[in-house]
Amino acid sequence: MVTQKSEIAESALADDAIIEIIEMHKWYGDFHVLQDINLTVKRKERIVICGPSGSGKSTLIRCINRLEEHQRGKIIVDGIELTNDLKNIEKIRAEVGMVFQHFNLFPHLTIVENLTLGPIWVRKIPKKEAEEIAMQNLEKVHIAEQAQKFPGQLSGGQQQRVAIARSLCMSPKIMLFDEPTSALDPEMIKEVLDAMIELAQEGMTMIVVSHEMGFAKSVAHRVLFMDYGQIVEGNTPEAFFENPQHERTKLFLSQILH
């Protein structure tokens, strides 16, 4: 169904870590939502995180660009540690693209305005140049002909591809995907996954929270399984799906793979 692994250019992973999460904890009030998370992501690595709902997988990737604040431990993104310093946070957010479950396009702006907002106001790129970048990225997700429309006039799959293009316009070093296909009708999932696969082929560092196991098998270097706020198991896709070690992983896989 999805592109075979061999088709994706297998560039050797660089050795330097682009994200380091060390003994990180997070609480919502009294609820210990993330417990002792340790994760190192290498440059160009692609990680798929799966797990039951409420397991903390979305919260984890939202901590990486500080949409959520962690209370203990360290998160270092591209050499910058995430602290309360606003300047640091804005700098990291500009380097880390994020795609949401519900797209979150700006409904009052046209597609091309959605894409140029960040480049013009954060990157200070001249408008004309920003529009060229926007058109290139729209072409990349095969949706350039919709540039002048408003988000409300597009289908879910198209909106999600625009959201991917919007992140790409900031030339991010890392892309985070928070269940990018969960809110889509079945016939639109493939077009979004295809756009993500193309991105993978270009060597983008990606962390994807998803239950698309076909995508995980063909694209990911590593699959992580989270449950009750902990990383329970992590392995290459082959080993993860063929030979899961932990009881909870086995149970989870038996529930989603029929």
Q: Is 83 in the site for other proteins (CB under 8 A)?
A: no
Q: Is 97 in the site for other proteins (CB under 8 A)?
A: yes
Angle at the Cα of 213 from the Cα atoms of 16 and 36, rounded to 5 degrees: 50
Rounded distance between C-alpha atoms, residue 141 and residue 74, angstroms: 35
Instruction: Please state the closest distance from residue 209 (CB atom) to other proteins, in A.
Output: 14
Cα 219 vs. chain centroid, distance in angstroms?
13
Q: Which two tokens stand for residue 63?
A: 């901590």
Q: Is 167 in the site for other proteins (CB under 8 A)?
A: yes
Q: Is 183 in the site for other proteins (CB under 8 A)?
A: no
Q: Tell me the β-bridge partners of 25.
A: 72
Among 46, 166, 190, 222, binds other proteins (CB under 8 A): 166
Amino acid of residue 109: L
Per-residue binding string, other proteins, 107-146, x by CB under 8 A, is xx--------xx--xx------------------------
**Binding footprint of other proteins, residue count (CB under 8 A):** 28
Q: Which two tokens stand for residue 144?
A: 């350039």
Q: Is 98 in the site for other proteins (CB under 8 A)?
A: yes
Rounded distance between C-alpha atoms, residue 226 and residue 52, angstroms: 8
CB of 113 closer than 8 Å to CB of 151: no
List interacting residues with other proteins (CB under 8 A): 65, 67, 86, 90-91, 93-94, 96-98, 100, 102, 104-108, 117-118, 121-122, 150-153, 166-167, 170
